[in-house]
């Protein structure tokens, strides 16, 4: 009896789910099995709290269009959030992302949830009280930041935190913790960003970001 080879293997880990993609079969077969497995997955998994996903491509030389197809299918199937898509190919595929690359994530970070990201992140959604967003680079929230955000978690004190509506329970950049929001000096909490100056956290309007970080992808005029 011949054992059927799985083109997509789903593993549960502490951080969420890992999707291991077979690197020897046609890409169309991968997409077909991935969609089938997602359709058969317990709906409570796909409709509950946000689940962080890593995709392992093995030695598959996937194009950017193929990677985006996988990412779109995963996101479309519920509350899955693709954090990493890794390849075992040598050379450029294993290089670190450019320092100015910004990854887009979306969803709602609810109370008790923690989302961690390597690099800069643009988060489309809200961070509710009790929710936590951690990032080694900069954090931009297009939504309400009412929970806790920590940028530069590896010690990068040039990181910034910005939000459409800034009323966090706490902000941290590297090892510096913010003052309470009622001491910031702004009343509307609209489109502000936090940064470190002289070892202290400061808050300013987002239109001043280009003065602080003219090299940032969001900081240019």
Question: Rounded to 5 degrees, what angle do the CA atoms 148, 154, 156 make?
Answer: 90
Identify the pLDDT of residue 204: 86
Identify the pLDDT of residue 108: 94
Identify the pLDDT of residue 89: 62
Identify the pLDDT of residue 182: 60
Strands in 200-205's sheet, in edge-to-edge order, are 102-106, 120-124, 139-145, 161-166, 190-197, 200-205
Length of the chain: 221
Identify the pLDDT of residue 16: 81
> Residue 181: helix, strand or coil by DSSP?
helix
Identify the pLDDT of residue 192: 86
Block mean pLDDT (10 aa), the chain, length 221: 68 83 88 84 64 85 84 78 75 46 89 90 94 93 94 89 91 86 60 88 83 59 40
Q: Domains in the chain, ordered, with CATH?
A: 8-94 (3.30.750), 102-212 (2.160.20.70)
- The distance from CA 212 to its chain's CA centroid, rounded to whole angstroms, is 24
Radius of gyration for the chain, computed over Cα atoms and rounded to the nearest angstrom: 19
Which residues, at least 6 apart from 36, have a Cβ–Cβ distance to it below 8 Å? none
**Helical H segments across the chain, by residue range:** 27-40, 43-47, 64-76, 209-212
In this structure, the strands spanning 190-197 and 176-177 are unpaired
């Amino acid at each position: 009896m011949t054992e059927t080879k799985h083109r997509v293997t789903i593993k549960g880990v502490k951080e969420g789910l890992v999707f291991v993609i077979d690197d020897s079969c046609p890409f169309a077969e991968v997409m077909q099995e991935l969609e089938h497995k997602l359709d058969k997955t317990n709906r409570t998994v796909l409709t509950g709290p946000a689940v962080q996903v890593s995709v392992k491509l093995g030695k598959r030389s996937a194009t950017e269009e193929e990677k985006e197809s996988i990412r779109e299918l995963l996101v479309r199937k519920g509350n899955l959030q693709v954090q990493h898509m890794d390849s075992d190919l040598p050379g450029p595929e294993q290089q670190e992302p450019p320092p100015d690359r910004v990854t887009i994530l979306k969803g709602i970070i609810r109370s008790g949830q923690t989302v961690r990201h390597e690099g800069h992140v643009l988060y489309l959604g809200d961070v509710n009280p009790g929710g936590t967003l951690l990032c080694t680079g900069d954090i931009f929230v297009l939504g309400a930041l009412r929970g806790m955000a920590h940028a530069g978690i590896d010690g990068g004190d040039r990181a910034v935190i910005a939000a459409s509506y800034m009323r966090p329970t706490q902000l941290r950049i590297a090892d510096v913790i913010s003052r309470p929001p009622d001491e910031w000096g702004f009343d509307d909490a609209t489109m502000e960003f936090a940064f470190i100056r002289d070892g202290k956290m400061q808050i300013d309007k987002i239109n001043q970001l280009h003065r602080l970080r003219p090299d940032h992808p969001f900081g240019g005029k």
